[in-house]
Structure 1
Amino acid sequence: MKVTYIFIKKNMMPIAIGIVYLWFGALKFFPDISPAEDLAKTTIHELTFGLIPSDITILLLAFWEITIGILLILNVYKRMIYWAAIIHITLTFTPWLFFPSEVFQNNYFQLTLLGQYIAKNIVILAALAVLLKEEKTKEASVITQREMM
């Protein structure tokens, strides 16, 4: 049982999250395909104070998401990519602050489809936190073993 859990945590979680990133990132390369494209453009416009044209920011976002996806699937540069993904996922919650009418309907307990699209990121954020913690623990263990030699 423990072996199965370790295999899933170390291999399947990064691959599953990577597939989601790859898929959602790829959609952003094609105009009007991603259901969150307009919200992403508007949010990035607010975050960058409108200094970068939205057509460029959506391509940069697509590139960022695809890069995260590929590196998660390949299981390389783990610590760096976990942090990049955590930063990205955290930023996906900013529409809740900037555009609550796009995320909630009628009251703050009823999410719109876009709100649900964002809310599912809580699960991805939790999984990334577990993976990052595991990676930090592994690195600390390696350092301790080197010091003992």
Structure 2
Amino acid sequence: MKERSIKLARRIAGNNILAISIGAIYLWFGLLKFFPGASPAEGLAQETVSQLTFQLISPSVSILLLATWEVVVGLFLLINIFRRTILLFAFLHMLCTFTPLFFFPESAFTSVPFNFTLTGQYIAKNVVIIAALFTLYKESGKSYQTSRT
């Protein structure tokens, strides 16, 4: 048991600030979604998942699934396990965050395509997160290759 704790501590200590900060944001935003009304993105997230799933998943279930997804991504980035796989889940999530720009342009823009609403700005900032995820993915490929040789 103690050996497992030491391994986990080393893994976390080997994590970098980029993975920690993205992991913390994912964890924080995901946890908020477990509490109705706590997340400012709750309504938008429910509407988006509803559109993406052709209304097959109810809003109450969709927000729980999204919250779980985000918490898992956050925890795994913080703990520094399954890095390449979890980054793929984060990329998929980030891709989906842009769909409201197309599904609900009236809530994202005051004047399409240049004048963002606060919601649009909330979505657009994800470009920076995607760039950070690419950086982490590239780094994880290098460490994966060196650990195999």
- 2:50 pairs with one of 45, 48, 52: 45
What is the aligned partner in structure 1 of residue 84 from structure 2?
79
What is the aligned partner in structure 1 of residue 119 from structure 2?
114
Residue 138 in 1 paired to residue 119 in 2? no
For 1:75, the aligned partner's letter is N
Give the TM-score normalised by the residue count of structure 2.
Answer: 0.86
- 1:12 pairs with one of 17, 21, 37: 17
Deviations 1:58-100 (A, max 9, x none): 0000010011111111111101111111111111001011111
What is the aligned partner in structure 2 of residue 61 from structure 1?
66
For 1:141, the aligned partner's letter is T
Give the distance between the partners of 2:142 and 2:95, measured in 1 at CA.
23
Give the distance between the partners of 2:112 and 2:69, measured in 1 at CA.
33
After superposition, where does 1:88-99 map in structure 2 within 5 Å? Answer: 88-99=93-104
- 1:140 to partner: Cα distance: 2.7
Give the distance between the partners of 1:68 and 1:26, measured in 2 at CA.
12
Give the distance between the partners of 2:56 and 2:113, measured in 1 at CA.
31
Give the distance between the partners of 2:16 and 2:146, measured in 1 at CA.
20
Structure 1 unmatched ranges of 5 or more: 1-9
Q: Tell me the matched-pair count.
A: 136
- 1:126 pairs with one of 127, 131, 143: 131
Give the distance between the partners of 2:146 and 2:79, measured in 1 at CA.
23
- 1:121 to partner: Cα distance: 0.8
Q: What root-mean-square deviation, in Å, do the aligned CA atoms of Structure 1 and Structure 2 show? A: 1.4
Deviations 1:80-125 (A, max 9, x none): 1111111111110010111111111134211111111111111110
Give the distance between the partners of 2:127 and 2:135, measured in 1 at CA.
13
Give the distance between the partners of 1:42 and 1:15, measured in 2 at CA.
29
Residues 105, 112 of structure 2: 8 Å contact kept: no
Give the TM-score normalised by the residue count of structure 1.
Answer: 0.86
What is the aligned partner in structure 1 of residue 29 from structure 2?
24
For 2:127, the aligned partner's letter is I
3-state SS, counterpart of residue 105 of structure 1: strand
